[in-house]
Chain A
Amino acid sequence: AQSVTQPDIHITVSEGASLELRCNYSYGATPYLFWYVQSPGQGLQLLLKYFSGDTLVQGIKGFEAEFKRSQSSFNLRKPSVHWSDAAEYFCAVVDAGGTSYGKLTFGQGTILTVHP
């Protein structure tokens, strides 16, 4: 079964600093990969997704992610963090074939705190 690991439960950065959130997945074939952001008490907003093609994916709010098949990783990056980026971030994977087609599997989430 596919799985997603976000090794960092909580990350704190200063405003203006760069950010990298880690995501590792376990899946035999090429997965579909997503990053979502959630503000407290709200639903999930899609930041970006990777299906195929260019392994560097650009998303909304200045975020990008790079798919590295050799490392089974899909890390999220932002060059300069803003205070409004404070939220919880989730990495997710979909099995692109087989009986589990369509179901998202989520990591445990990473809470981002931004210091002024």
Chain B
Amino acid sequence: DGGITQSPKYLFRKEGQNVTLSCEQNLNHDAMYWYRQDPGQGLRLIYYSQIVNDFQKGDIAEGYSVSREKKESFPLTVTSAQKNPTAFYLCATGGASNYGYTFGSGTRLTVV
């Protein structure tokens, strides 16, 4: 069954700690994206990658880092430099073509 999987569903971070969110897809799509969702603000693009070993900053990249070593995987690290990391994070794959974009079920990150 093709799709995109995010883990964990819930994640708790202590002050000053880095945490990594996982995103895996088996749809064989080249492009992958990370979005952050806050209430009333829609979704904002953090990073995106259109090909393996290449990625670009989105609108709110500060305090985040990514890697794209495999086509299937696009992990997001929330670093200690991100001062307000509590949010819902969504990973997506696909593009502006007939197949569109597919979203994962999200990871809710909370600072404790």
Please state if B96 and A9 are interface contacts (CB–CB under 8 Å): no
Query: Would A32 and B96 count as touching, CB distance under 8 A?
Result: yes
A-B contact count (CB 8 A): 60
CA distance A21 to B90 in the complex (A): 23
Q: Give Cα A49–Cα B108 distance, bound, in whole angstroms.
A: 27
A90 touches B42 (CB 8 A): yes
| Residue B87 interfacial (CB < 8 Å) | no
Contact B58 A103 (CB under 8 A): yes
B2 within 8 A of A: no
CB <8 Å contact, A43 and B50: no
A109 to B44, CA, bound (A): 12
Is A44's CB under 8 angstroms from B33's CB? no
Separation of A107 and B6 alpha carbons in the complex (Å): 23
Proximity string of chain A (32-47) to chain B, C-beta cutoff 8 Å, 1 when within and 0 when not: 1010100001111110
A41 touching B100, Cβ below 8 Å: no
| A38-94 residues at the B interface, CB under 8 angstroms | 41-46, 49, 51, 90, 94
A42 to B95 alpha-carbon distance, docked (Å): 21
Whether B103 pairs with A102 at a CB distance below 8 angstroms is: no
Residue from the list B43, B50, B98, B108 in contact with A102, Cβ < 8 A: B50
| Inter-chain contact A104/B42, CB cutoff 8 Å | no
Interchain CB contact under 8 A, B40 and A94: no
Q: Say whether A103 contacts B33, CB under 8 Å.
A: yes
- The answer to whether B104 touches A41 (Cβ under 8 A) is no
Which residue of chain A lies nearest to B102 when distances are taken between CB atoms in the complex?
Answer: A46
By a CB distance below 8 angstroms, the chain A residues around B104 are: 43
Contact between B40 and A9 (Cβ–Cβ < 8 Å)? Answer: yes
Contact with B along A93-112 (1 / 0, CB 8 A): 01010000111111111000
CB of A43 within 8 A of CB of B90, answer: yes
B40 close to A41 (CB less than 8 A): no
The 4 closest A-B pairs by CB, nearest first: A106-B42, A43-B103, A94-B96, A44-B103
Given contacts A90-B43, A108-B42, 5 further A-B contacts (CB under 8 A): A36-B103, A41-B108, A43-B6, A94-B96, A102-B95
